[in-house]
Amino acid sequence: MARVAWAIGIGALLMAGVAAAQVTPDPAAQMRADAAAQRLVYPRMPDTPGTGPYRAIKTLDADFPGHVIYRPANLAALGKRKLPVLVWGNGGCSGDGASARLFLSEIASHGYLAVAPGKMLSGPGATPAPPPAAGSPALAVHTTSDDVRQGIDQAAAANSHAGGALRGRLDLSRVAVGGHSCGGLQALQLAGDPRIRAVIVMHSGIFADGSNPIAGLTVDKGLLRTLHTPVLYILGGPLDVAYPNGSDDVAKIDHVPVFLADHPVRHLGTFAQPNGGNEAQVVTAWLDWQLRGDARAGRWFAGPKCRLCTDTSWTITRKKIG
């Protein structure tokens, strides 16, 4: 019954999105329609354990105050293998550390620790979020890039905490930062941290018009010069409200390898699909290539017949990637 209910719910979500697209092609209006439809379905969707070799869990851990973590459930099954770390910026810079739970669980199931700031405010185990205060800005952050950065510091402490579940389990030489929408801007704010080895920016980009419409967040194109690692951008086509900003970022980045994968899924991407949809697969391959040096994963992105290059559902742009 849960599977049937999910199928009915996702069908309603998709139909609502299609109907909205027929009414208005405006990216901002489309984003609002998609978000309204997703809010009806996503909070009731069950958690998924991922498709990787390690069944993943979403959990709270005393070593990660103010954060939600995603990790393999059975740490003993890792043997001597250690977990690289992905710190994550939530969509909308929200305080919901479960907002990308299906996506982050998929990544964790491939042998990663993912850390997202905030509380569990959606999905199983959620605590309902308080209503916004009267007079709050429509666009305002509830977490900051410092909250995302704390995930790295907490992982380092957890790795050495006697008696902690993750003691000695983490590979702190392999740390990535990523984020969705406003959280993608937080990822760019952290990209200059020397501990970062890879960057993922999803449905996001620094405002091409130089504006800063999100209260509590100030960014400009100068952040792009702080990149010192390869960076993956994922965009959702022209109806993704971040499309012009992310495309402009990629056009301006000329000093580090950059890969842009674009497909027509609009701004909310595939986060609400089981196991995070195909975007989770792309990001996992990027992490495996960048953090683990996995040549097979690299074939998603590199070479004249790379997997994404030959998949007609994607449009790619790449620089400094052979």
Q: Quote the CA–CA distance of 100 and 91 in Å, as a whole number.
A: 8
Domain spans of the chain, in order of start: 1-46, 48-126+138-319
HSE, CB side, 13 Å, CA atoms: give it for residue 177.
28
Q: Quote the CA–CA distance of 43 and 300 in Å, as a whole number.
A: 32
Structure tokens at 269: 């991407």
Does the model's pTM come out above 0.85?
yes
**Stretch (H or E) spanning 84:** strand 83-89
Question: Do 109 and 53 touch, CB atoms closer than 8 A?
Answer: yes
Q: 48-126+138-319 is classed in which CATH architecture?
A: 3-Layer(aba) Sandwich (3.40)
What pLDDT is attached to residue 55?
98
For each of the chain's 322 residues, which pLDDT tens digit applies?
A: 334 333 334 344 433 443 333 444 688 888 788 877 777 778 888 999 999 999 999 999 999 999 999 999 999 999 999 999 999 999 999 999 999 999 999 999 999 999 999 999 999 999 876 666 666 565 789 999 999 999 999 999 999 999 999 999 999 999 999 999 999 999 999 999 999 999 999 999 999 999 999 999 999 999 999 999 999 999 999 999 999 999 999 999 999 999 999 999 999 999 999 999 999 999 999 999 999 999 999 999 999 999 999 999 999 999 999 8
Residues 278-317 as b/e (b if ≥16 CB within 10 A, e otherwise) read bbbbbbbbbbbbbbeeeeebbbbbbeeebbbbeeeebebe
Can you name the residues that pair with 262 across neighbouring β-strands? Answer: 235, 315
The radius of gyration of the chain's CA atoms, rounded to the nearest angstrom, is: 18
What pLDDT is attached to residue 169?
98
Q: Quote the CA–CA distance of 250 and 259 in Å, as a whole number.
A: 8
What pLDDT is attached to residue 109?
98
Question: Do 269 and 238 touch, CB atoms closer than 8 A?
Answer: no
